[in-house]
């Protein structure tokens, strides 16, 4: 089976992308794209999936497709190296989903912890749309259609990848080796696995409104950082402070590098020393937040500026997406054809079939 190394990832067009996406997946994608270690890379905007929980708001999804595309380009995804496409434009994915549905039980989907928590978050308990409930299956179609070997995502996607691997194994067991089993690639830095929101909530998420967006203006970034959640018991500068659950320090874990200390906080040789001082007492939140702000501005200014350049030529971005869809469709069609052959639903391509049937009825 395919020895090619192929990357696939995507994002839901439910909002602009934020720094959680950046550390959870986007930064890694750009590195992998430029590493030369992979044969192909597919990145897609998951509009069909976004519609599973935004069925009443297609306009939101439509508007955010271009926002996500702009964020991709601003971060350095390069259409010359990666195929960027829109999920709904690849009908082969629906066909694959339909066939995979028979390989999964309802109770297995109900046990998926990500689906469980997302159902809770959206207050779907009593009225879960079937499409939403089954989105792990459609995600398996996305991954397998492109024969992805490697899926760089945040920790919340782990159950999805496990589900995909199960479906692949079951398909291959029933119908013969056809699909490629994907591997998840999680961020190396623990703080990036699931970046918390600025409100200290478990996850920065477009749907929770606790985000610093890649495209935020400098003063918005500063305002968000200066009002971030820290240690609620750290009232006076001289008080000892806690690091656990302190979002400012989690962000420093995710974003700070040694050169930031040289540049902006030369009194401290590294993050460990800064943390130790905070825990001892005598270090105020404002100083730490200002330091974080300098780091974030350094990171986000060039991204925002590149985005503004791409915003000057919107038609060419749609053209790039359309080209990406064509390439993606061709790739997905090959896999679909393999799947249909394996499942024996290839009546008009199988030359022996008619011959066989002729003989059967001649008896
Ligand atoms: P929504 O609330 O609409 O689900 P989201 O913010 O969760 O949006 P997705 O489009 O679902 O974003 O996720 C896209 C990718 O970004 C996935 O790989 C996911 O793991 C990663 N990701 C999203 N949020 C975070 C986060 N806070 N920390 C790390 N990775 C994240
Ligand atoms: Mg999500």
**pLDDT of amino acid 57:** 96
Q: What is d(CA 361, CA 363) in angstroms, rounded to the nearest whole number?
A: 5
**pLDDT of amino acid 80:** 97
- Identify which of 10, 22, 32, 326 has the alpha carbon closest to the alpha carbon of residue 139: 10
Ligand nearest to the CA of 68: 1
Nearest ligand 1 atom, CA 118: 4
Q: Where are the domains of the chain?
A: 6-194+313-358, 216-310
Task: Give the rounded distance of the alpha carbon of 73 from its chain centre.
Answer: 15
DSSP, collapsed to helix, strand or coil, labels residue 174 as helix
Q: What is d(CA 239, CA 197) in angstroms, rounded to the nearest whole number?
A: 25
The conformation of residue 157, written as its DSSP 8-state character, comes to G
Ligand nearest to the CA of 155: 1
**pLDDT of amino acid 123:** 82
Question: How many Cα atoms are found within 13 Å in the side-chain-facing hemisphere of 249?
Answer: 21
- Identify which of 254, 258, 136 has the alpha carbon closest to the alpha carbon of residue 187: 254
Instruction: Tell me the pLDDT band of 119, cut-offs 50, 70 and 90.
Output: confident
Nearest-CA residue for ligand 1 atom 22 is: 21
Asked whether residue 73 carries a pLDDT value surpassing 60, the answer given is yes
Q: Please write the tens of the pLDDT for every residue from 144-161.
A: 999 999 999 988 899 999
**pLDDT of amino acid 278:** 96
Which class is 216-310 in CATH?
Answer: mainly alpha
Q: How far is CA 333 from CA 116, 147, 169, 186, 351, in A?
A: 32, 12, 21, 29, 20
Listed range (191-195, 292-296, 304-308) with the worst mean pLDDT: 191-195
The DSSP-derived string for 299-362 is HHHHHHHHHHHHHTTHHHHHHHHHHHHHHHHHHHHHHHHHHHHHTT--TTT-HHHHHHHHHHHH
Q: What is d(CA 112, CA 238) in angstroms, rounded to the nearest whole number?
A: 46
Q: Please write the tens of the pLDDT for every residue from 245-267.
A: 999 999 999 999 999 999 999 99
The residue-averaged pLDDT of 281-288 equals 95
CATH topology of domain 6-194+313-358: Rossmann fold (3.40.50)
Asked whether residue 239 carries a pLDDT value surpassing 70, the answer given is yes
Instruction: Specify the pTM.
Output: 0.93
Q: What is d(CA 194, CA 24) in angstroms, rounded to the nearest whole number?
A: 7
Asked whether residue 31 carries a pLDDT value surpassing 80, the answer given is yes
Average pLDDT of the residues of the chain = 94
Residues having CB within 6 Å of any atom of ligand 1 = 11-12, 14, 20-21, 24-25, 153-154, 156-157, 194-195, 203-207
Asked whether residue 1 carries a pLDDT value surpassing 80, the answer given is no
**pLDDT of amino acid 295:** 97
Q: Please write the tens of the pLDDT for every residue from 172-212.
A: 999 999 999 999 999 888 888 899 999 998 889 887 889 99
Calculate how far, in angstroms, residue 10's C-alpha sits from the geometric centre of ligand 1: 10
Instruction: Tell me the pLDDT band of 38, cut-offs 50, 70 and 90.
Output: very high
Nearest ligand 1 atom, CA 157: 20
Calculate how far, in angstroms, residue 154's C-alpha sits from the geometric centre of ligand 1: 7
Q: How far is CA 127 from CA 119, 120, 134, in A?
A: 9, 11, 14
Q: Tokens at residue 133, please? A: 């409930």
| % of the chain at pLDDT higher than 70 | 99
Could you tell me the strand order of the sheet in which 183-185 lies?
A: 83-86, 40-45, 6-11, 150-152, 183-185
| % of the chain at pLDDT higher than 90 | 86
Listed range (94-108, 228-242, 290-304, 309-323) with the worst mean pLDDT: 228-242
Q: What is d(CA 13, CA 83) in angstroms, rounded to the nearest whole number?
A: 17
Are 332 and 146 within 8 A, CB to CB?
yes
**CB burial of residue 19 (10 Å; 0-12, 13-18, 19+):** buried
Nearest ligand 1 atom, CA 208: 2
The residue-averaged pLDDT of 333-355 equals 94
């Amino acid at each position: 089976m395919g020895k090619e190394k192929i990357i696939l990832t995507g994002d839901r067009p439910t909002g602009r992308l934020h720094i959680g996406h950046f550390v959870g997946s986007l930064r890694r994608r750009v590195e992998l794209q430029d590493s030369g270690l992979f044969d192909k890379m597919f990145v897609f905007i998951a509009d069909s999936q976004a519609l599973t929980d935004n069925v009443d708001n297609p306009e939101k999804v439509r508007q955010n497709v271009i926002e996500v595309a702009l964020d991709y380009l601003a971060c350095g995804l390069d259409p010359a190296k990666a195929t960027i496409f829109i999920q709904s434009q690849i009908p082969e994915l629906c066909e694959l989903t339909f066939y995979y549905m028979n390989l999964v039980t309802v109770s297995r989907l109900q046990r998926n912890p990500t689906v469980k928590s997302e159902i809770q978050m959206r207050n779907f308990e009593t009225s879960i749309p079937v499409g939403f409930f089954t989105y792990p299956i459609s995600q398996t179609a996305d991954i397998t259609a492109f024969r992805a070997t490697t899926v760089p995502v945040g920790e919340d996607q782990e159950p999805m990848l496990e589900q995909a691997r199960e479906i692949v194994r079951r398909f291959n067991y029933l119908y013969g080796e056809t699909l490629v089993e994907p591997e998840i690639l999680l961020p190396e830095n623990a703080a990036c696995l699931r970046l918390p929101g600025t409100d200290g909530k478990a996850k920065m998420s477009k749907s929770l409104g606790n985000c610093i967006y890649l495209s935020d203006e400098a003063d918005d970034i500063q305002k968000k950082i200066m009002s971030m959640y820290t240690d609620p018991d750290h009232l006076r500068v001289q008080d000892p402070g806690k690091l656990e659950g302190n979002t400012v320090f989690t962000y420093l874990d995710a974003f700070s590098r040694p050169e930031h200390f040289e540049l902006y906080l030369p009194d401290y040789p590294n993050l460990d020393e800064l943390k130790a001082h905070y825990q001892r007492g005598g270090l105020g939140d404002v100083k730490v937040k200002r330091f974080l702000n300098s780091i974030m501005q350094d990171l986000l200014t060039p991204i925002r500026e590149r985005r503004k350049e791409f915003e000057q030529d919107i038609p060419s971005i749609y053209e790039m997406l359309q080209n990406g869809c064509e390439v993606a469709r061709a790739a997905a069609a090959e896999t679909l054809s393999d799947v249909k052959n394996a499942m024996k639903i290839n009546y008009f391509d199988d030359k022996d079939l008619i011959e066989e049937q002729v003989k059967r009825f001649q008896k």
